[in-house]
A and B are shown apart, each in its own frame.
Chain A
Amino acid sequence: MKTYVIRRLLLLIPTLFGITLIVFLAMQAIPGDPVEVYLGSFYDEATAKSIRAEYGLDQPILTQYVRWVGRLVQGDWGKEVLSGDQVLLRITERLWVSAELIAGAMIVALIIAIPAGIVSAVRPYTGIDYTAMTGAMMGVSIPEFFGGILLVLLFSLQLGWLPVMGYRPLSDGAWEHLSHMIMPAFTLGFTRAGILTRLVRSSMLEVISQDYIKTARSKGISEFFVINTHALKNTLIPVVTVMGLQVGFLVGGTIVIETVFSIPGLGQYGISAIASRDYPAVMGFILISSTVFVLANLIVDFTYALLDPRIRYGS
């Protein structure tokens, strides 16, 4: 296990480097001179030259990249163009809001997917299976923002149970906070539950046809126990492996959902940075989001290795 962890951690370095390289090149590829945009009508050759020198924009591109990565590692992610605030500071403030949303969505997805997947695998090709699979198909096909809007229509505008949008920090009280988070988390979770339900079902179907399940049954263990202890453990292995991928979709999903519900998370930060062409902020947003995705995948791989010894000792 130790060598596996070390090898995976070492592999992290080129991946993170690759990400910075792509983000850097992408920003270079944006048409237009940033200094010209920044100065606007105040543009003149002398000022532009001094600004280029100040920010190192007159250096060769490779030097610029190396310096930029150096600053990133030291925690200097640049300043927002409009406010002059440190990008890293603003991002970490907002990261927690998005992280809570993602964690909530993940919990919702698992709470729906595991029971629904088990039940439809245990009673395949019955009404309950078809209902679960239709629900899963809907979850896969509904755009996140539309799902959120339907919930708002029902629970906020029709029933008046939950606030339409907005965000309250935890310091405003637990219910105030949660009532604003329930719908966004549920919306995101439901779309993910679609894929997971189908996965749990097919994985469970495969597991319960195996010999060790027959053995357990023939020992007279109750069906409930056979399914929920013997079979469930192995059923969840493929579910864990796709979790990392799901985090990727959730990171993308928060961007849309935070816009729908006006939640001041990372996604909303990124979208407003793009709208105002605040490139240091855009770079920070993309860097942090993809790093979260890469780290989530790493944690998933470790969990997978813990669950399945074949991975640890494999090549």
Chain B
Amino acid sequence: MAAEREAPRVDGAHTEEDQEFEGMSAILWRKMRRNKSAMAGLMIIALLLFLAVFADWIAPFSYENPAGEGLQTPSWRHPFGTDGIGRDMFSRVIHGTRVALFIGSGSIVLAITVGIPLGVCAGYYGGWFDMTVMRLMDLFLAFPIFLLAILIMVILGPSTANVVVALAFVRIPIFARVVRGSVLAVKEKEYVEGARAVSSPDFHILFRHILPNCMAPIIVTASLSIAFAILVEASLSFLGLGTQPPVPSWGFDLKQNLISLEDTASIVVAPGLAIMFTVLGFNLLGDGLRDALDPRTIE
């Protein structure tokens, strides 16, 4: 709601003539507002953020300690039932948002921090550096991505921090590729030539002129990558290779509670739905952003 009130001010600050000087974020927001899929995704993510930030207040019980008898079916006191040792499943699912969002966004921030400079330099300088970096990236892409994540977890050992590292690592080649591709396209533009003509330093050209014009595919890839990271984290934890107890990971809980599927299905279904809902949110946002940022989309 607050965002909606803010929006007209952004539009109003510019007259029609200087619309081309509208900032990147303002353009993005203007296009996104019209995209139903992006807005639905954004609302889901806002809700998840709210749950993650206020988990301590929203969750009625501790996620670590038993809150009653084990394997209770859903009731007013325990909406999702209790797990094998009596922990309130609702509280664990609420606290799980923190874990999922932390791993999802943390790994992507890390992947971007490494992947973007690699892709930018490979695309801009070309030559042997480009050749070496991109062949190496190709080699990592020769592995099925989930398998590569498993391999890294085998080396590092299971823990929350290591999951972040593993998920970042498998995503670096993708960011490097996406960025390199758009840098190759952008660096031929006249304004880059212009900047070079007035002998701006490379660093300035790269980060002031080239990178801002490559943002669209990066933003879309980032949003879809968060969805992917949350999905893979859930799978790794499901296999016991990811987060370790007592961290309230949805994938781990699902696996843990699977033996009680016949008696109390709710303790299996609730974390599963939580994963699905979260992944859906980021997928919707990513899809919507792609449509909104595609220059071919007619306004």
Q: A residues bordering B, Cβ < 8 Å?
A: 15, 18-19, 22-23, 26, 29-31, 137-138, 140-146, 149-150, 152-153, 157, 248-249, 251-253, 255-256, 259-260, 270-271, 274-275, 282, 286, 289-290, 293-294
Contact = CB atoms under 8 A, between A and B. Distances in A.
A26 B139 CA distance: 14
Nearest to B232: A252
A143 B147 contact: no
B151 A26 contact: yes
27 contacts: A15-B139, A18-B142, A22-B151, A29-B155, A137-B284, A140-B279, A141-B280, A142-B276, A143-B231, A143-B251, A149-B272, A150-B269, A152-B261, A157-B261, A248-B145, A249-B145, A249-B146, A251-B146, A252-B145, A252-B235, A253-B146, A255-B146, A255-B150, A256-B235, A274-B154, A290-B143, A290-B144
B240 interface: yes
A150 B269 CA distance: 8
Contacts of B144: 248-249, 251-252, 289-290, 293
A157 B258 CA distance: 13
B238 A256 contact: yes
A253 B231 CA distance: 11
Contacts of A274: 150, 154, 241
Enumerate the 6 nearest inter-chain pairs by beta-carbon distance, A residue then B residue, closest first: A252-B146, A146-B272, A248-B144, A141-B280, A141-B279, A18-B139
Interface of B: 139-140, 142-147, 150-152, 154-155, 157, 227, 231, 234-235, 238-241, 251, 254-255, 258, 261-262, 265, 268-269, 272, 275-276, 279-280, 283-284, 287
Given A249-B144, A252-B146, A143 B235 contact: yes
A253 B140 CA distance: 18
A26 B154 contact: yes
A259 B239 CA distance: 8
Nearest to B265: A153
Given A26-B151, A271-B239, 16 more contacts: A15-B139, A19-B143, A137-B283, A137-B287, A141-B231, A141-B283, A143-B235, A144-B235, A146-B275, A146-B276, A149-B268, A248-B145, A249-B146, A252-B147, A259-B238, A290-B142
A232 to B, nearest CB: 24
A67 B10 CA distance: 66
Contacts of B227: 141
A29 B162 CA distance: 14
B286 to A, nearest CB: 10
With a 10 A CB-CB cut-off, give which of A22, A253, A275 has the most chain B CB atoms.
A22
A61 B241 CA distance: 28
Nearest to B258: A149
A124 B231 CA distance: 30
A304 B238 CA distance: 36
Describe A's contact surface by its main secondary structure: helix
Describe B's contact surface by its main secondary structure: helix
B240 A275 contact: yes
Contacts of B258: 149, 260
With a 10 A CB-CB cut-off, give which of A141, A152, A293 has the most chain B CB atoms.
A141
A145 B151 contact: no
Nearest to A15: B142
Contacts of B151: 22-23, 26, 286
B113 to A, nearest CB: 22
A129 to B, nearest CB: 14
A252 B272 CA distance: 19
A26 B147 CA distance: 13
Given A143-B235, A252-B147, A149 B261 contact: yes
A174 B83 CA distance: 39
Contacts of B241: 274
Nearest to B227: A141
A153 B261 contact: yes
Given A255-B146, A282-B154, A143 B272 contact: yes
Nearest to B255: A145
A127 to B, nearest CB: 16
A260 B241 CA distance: 15
Contacts of A252: 144-147, 235
A37 B262 CA distance: 40
With a 10 A CB-CB cut-off, give which of B235, B261, B269 has the most chain A CB atoms.
B235
Nearest to B262: A157
Contact of B147 (A149, A251, A259): A251
Contacts of B275: 143, 146
Contacts of A29: 155
B280 A293 contact: no
B154 A19 contact: no
A30 B155 contact: yes
A152 B261 CA distance: 9
A293 B238 contact: no
With a 10 A CB-CB cut-off, give which of A31, A142, A253, A282 has the most chain B CB atoms.
A142
B34 to A, nearest CB: 15
Contact of B239 (A22, A140, A256): A256
